[in-house]
Structure 1
């Protein structure tokens, strides 16, 4: 049939197929069940319109970029499910606020009205009442995974190694989007606990915490995380620091067996010495891969990496910083380059900071407000976010 299924999909197929006494399956039933799992096949030239009908608008340039990430068949078609999975991690596209519910439903999120309102109140809306697709997907990921009983928050958090006061529990109950069955998503709960002052977690609970964040740390990743955390004499570490650092072990992985090729594709220029230094510090898995986020973190820690001038915009996007056309123009006019048409990464980051000013991670916005002594209702937060400029999927 020319259909490649993932292990999870194959198991899903096996679980729902009726097998006769001879251990055989009706072919028509098989074909129908496969369609249920993969969805219909969509011609590549129709993808832009299909996404538009779902509430997602992409440019012609983004359409070409998206196609490069999708498994396209010989007859120039893409399975609907593959398209939706690709869209979830795609850095491009915009969603109108009025299409928010439609987009969430089409991308597989099943949120109640209260949860949608909570999500929307934390979304930065850009011009024309639109939201960047990757920003929406990042925020919506908090409404995935396991749900817990809202009336048992103290024990739920204690099992993760996080202690809370009665006052903090009441605040959480008041502000969390609790569903009709009295439950709340664990990830969404942790997002609200993160900005609380003075929260620490024991080193022995780090793996448990990461799993509850939806992050599966392999042995190499866990050791690397431990090596870079500021652990106190009581073997405790600040909760917000752990949650930020653990994000380095999410997203796409890249093969660093040919590090020069990886750096070239990303537009980064490193000396042989810097490459060797970088490889020594990376938690490389048995298959030769490392998380792209962790790789970039390692590159930023080096003193001399350079960026190809023509790749400045994409390097910034890889680091979660989106530049408007006028900002990119101003940036390019201020950069001093060498004969190879490259610019120092540190100089680039400093210039970007001057142009954009201080940037705050969206996930840390509640913490920023709390530190400033500012308390906002859900309506106030929604109103504020509508006036903010978002630079990337998280800032």
Structure 2
């Protein structure tokens, strides 16, 4: 505070001296013509306003006006020549406007600095809240997984045991998805590279779920594809559910097999993305079991969250599950984002024969 006051005091003294020097020099250089003096004094006010701010400028305007009134012809501070009087008024008005302008500029700068400081503080608070929320979420998921595992061991019914085991596995995957995306806001439109996220998720599944039965998983994902966090989180859950269903139903005897996960923009519809999971397993049973119906219902529900649909087919010994969903507007190019988005509400799948041949799925 003391240093600021000292700077203001020194700046004001220098401003008064500067104006005094300008008035004296101009008067001596052109004693019979006041116009150059008026112009140079206005220029001096502008320099002081730029360098010193509002207060030194206001004091300099007052000092300069008094000095001009004293130097100009007349008795005391009275100016006898009307032209000189009008020029003096114009000089004072110019100085006052400059002082007002720099004061307004300084006020706006101070408000902006305060807003920046407030935004930074809010960001810090949000960061702390996010860390605390993530910690609690991790603990809650761990507790739920432990409780589901305990209840599964205590269950006497095979159906209840399987259902609790499925629940435990889905909770674990949900934790993986959130941990990898480090979600701050599920509704955020920030785009994330889909390839690295799904590669990491598939690596986890290869080491855990798909390791039972030596299932080989191949992944083909568009390097340039970026999706909003919310879409990518849903996609991770759908991919996990599809691959888990493959392990359970396509290879029930634990025999090895091959699985392909494909994620690219649609070849013909640039506003659409498709994810295809194929396997050379057992294929469809004559009538879907309750577990299979529940799995498909869950997949349909997850797909609806991203305005998508899922279709299934069996082609030449290969089972093909195709998810197609609308590419979010934030992930499209500028030209595509302006196109009509009426087709986002549920996308019909292509004929599955064309899908399998177009993506080069090898028959079993």
- Normalised to the residue count of structure 2, the TM-score between the two structures is 0.24
- Over alpha carbons, which structure has the higher Rg? 2
- Normalised to the residue count of structure 1, the TM-score between the two structures is 0.23
If asked which structure has higher relative contact order (CA below 8 Å, sep 6+), I would say 1
Higher helix residue share:
2
